Amino acid sequence: PSFDAATAKPFYVTTPIFYVNAAPHIGHLHSLLLTDVFARFSRLRHPSRKVIFATGTDEHGMKIQQAAKAKGVDEKTFCDDVSQRFRDLAVLANASNTDFIRTTEPRHERAVKRFWEKLVASGDIYKGTHSGWYSISDESFYAATQVTEREDGKMIAIETGNEVIWEEEENWKFKLSKYRGFLAEWLSKPESAHPNTVRIELIRQAQSLEDLSVSRPKSRVKWGITVPGDEEQTIYVWVDALINYITVTGYPESQEGWPVDVHVVGKDIIKFHALHWPALLVSAGLEPPNRVIAHAHWTMGKSKMSKSKGNVVDPIEAMRNWSVDGVRWYLMRVGGSLTDDADYAPEQVEVHYRLLADQVGNLLSRISGPKMLKKATREFDPASPEDRDVELDRLLGGLRDDFESKMEGYMVNHACGVVMEVIMATNKLFTDLAPWSSVDGTKAITYAYHSLRLASILMQPIIPSKAAEALDRLGVPETERSWGDAVWSSGDVQEGNSLQTEEIVRRLQGGASRWKGKG
């Protein structure tokens, strides 16, 4: 279908908002970066389309209340401190978020209260008694069939292994069961939830959804937003948290960007986003999300990295050790899959980044040396590719489309892979052509130049600083780093699609000297 960026609504993407009960770890950075890649890709793909990219912190509820108490500080002070660390992380990691939302902000409390009133007006809120199992760590209720007894006699949630406690209380309930049919229909659209296996499982779960407790007695949870018209009850933290995505749009005065294009979440919290949230939205008279994407987890020694297990990696330290783009590359290249968990191994960060740096750096320095540049003596003749060039020709010709289709399928790891493949093939062709031992290096230089140029343009969403550095060294003007520029075909020498050899040499010389000046 034709898409008109000029008239399209803003592209709206979100990360989950992170609990402030503990410091950020690599898993949080992963969600943030995956979302950043989608935001940056949209800007590359459709520069005239506005992007709204929201992230932030989830600060209410029992879990935070307890964490603050354990530290001996009041909740607000505790939240201010940890929230700031997530905000700093986004800046350090070069995330391009356009908003950072905290659920303790007045704009959010207003939005939540208005949203709640809409649920009430729909007739979907009623007073009920809840008795069942609750996990503070998951901030989630579980049915009797979802819990089991551990060896030590404690009850745990089967899904997460976290401890649950029996709770019996009066609270407000939401008629989630009323939305079973709606959810089945919404989930029947392949684009609603990714990956597909997760979507199929959600369709199954939708059939047996029970009503949801959406408030807690103040006596139990006081750190939260009060239910409008009921001073005795606090709004359930997950309802409060999900509404952040609407607060960001300027609700209730405006709903800029809604419906959201992509909610990026970890697979651990998919049910809240793809079952509870669409139902709440429809009840409040709003459209459901366009898409919810669940990514897999980072493990440490095959066990999920999580603050409750204490097996976490500090993302700031990782970036200090391996550079920002080093960590960005590793997380996206190795862990950018939606379906498979990846095991985090610090030494592998270096291995993967080295591989990229060697392949790109090698090719760059191979073509920018003054001696080599003197070998670019004639115009490149596209009409006579030899067998060994044909494969690279094909790869280069299809690179942008390949990259796009991986990105559109949310397979960022594979998008990284297709770019790497071209760079490696180019290095190999360069070696085969051995221009250092011949008088004419035109062909080798031309292929290498365009291969690096295309790869760097496409890598901008993934490793923005390194990609910019490579484009600088290639002497590619700022105005020629767009999607439209990421093409080259040896058989097609139209303007903009091909450069004279002289121009390539001039650019490489300029890039090299500017680079020396900087370094």
Which residues contact ligand ME8 (rule: CB under 6 A)?
16-19, 27-28, 30-31, 58, 241-242, 244, 265-266, 268-269, 297-298, 304-306
Q: Are strands 303-304 and 11-14 parallel, antiparallel or unpaired?
A: unpaired
Closer of 30 and 414 to ligand ME8 (Cβ): 30
Write down the least CB distance from residue 222 to ligand ME8, Å.
Answer: 19
Write down the least CB distance from residue 304 to ligand ME8, Å.
Answer: 5
Write down the least CB distance from residue 244 to ligand ME8, Å.
Answer: 6
Closer of 99 and 472 to ligand ME8 (Cβ): 99
In whole angstroms, what is the distance from residue 323 CA to residue 141 CA? 41
Radius of gyration, CA atoms only, the chain: 26
Closer of 27 and 336 to ligand ME8 (Cβ): 27
* Three-class secondary structure of residue 91 per DSSP: helix
Query: Which residue's Cβ lies closest to ligand ME8?
Result: 27
Closer of 18 and 179 to ligand ME8 (Cβ): 18
Write down the least CB distance from residue 323 to ligand ME8, Å.
Answer: 21
Write down the least CB distance from residue 437 to ligand ME8, Å.
Answer: 49
Phi, psi angles (nearest 5°) of residue 350: -70, -40
Residue partners of 173: CB distance under 8 A and separation at least 6? 125, 126, 127, 128, 130, 211, 212, 213, 214
Closer of 250 and 361 to ligand ME8 (Cβ): 250
* Three-class secondary structure of residue 163 per DSSP: strand
Q: Is 170 exposed, middle or buried (0-12, 13-18, 19+ CB in 10 A)?
A: middle
Q: Where are the beta strands (DSSP E) in 121-221?
A: 125-135, 140-142, 147-149, 155-157, 165-174, 193-194, 212-213, 215-217
Which residue in the block uniquely carries the two structure tokens 């009133």?
A: 117
Closer of 11 and 298 to ligand ME8 (Cβ): 298
Task: Please report how many Cα atoms fall inside a 13 Å half-sphere around the Cα of residue 48, on the Cβ side.
Answer: 6
Write down the least CB distance from residue 336 to ligand ME8, Å.
Answer: 11
Closest C-alpha among 238, 499, 274 to residue 382: 499
Closer of 272 and 403 to ligand ME8 (Cβ): 272
Write down the least CB distance from residue 112 to ligand ME8, Å.
Answer: 12
Closer of 17 and 279 to ligand ME8 (Cβ): 17
Residue partners of 219: CB distance under 8 A and separation at least 6? none
Write down the least CB distance from residue 31 to ligand ME8, Å.
Answer: 4
Residue partners of 365: CB distance under 8 A and separation at least 6? none
Write down the least CB distance from residue 364 to ligand ME8, Å.
Answer: 33
Tokens standing for residue 75: 């909740």
Write down the least CB distance from residue 245 to ligand ME8, Å.
Answer: 7
In whole angstroms, what is the distance from residue 64 CA to residue 62 CA? 6
Closer of 147 and 243 to ligand ME8 (Cβ): 243
Q: Is the dihedral of CA 397, 401, 404, 405 positive or negative?
A: negative
Closer of 331 and 486 to ligand ME8 (Cβ): 331
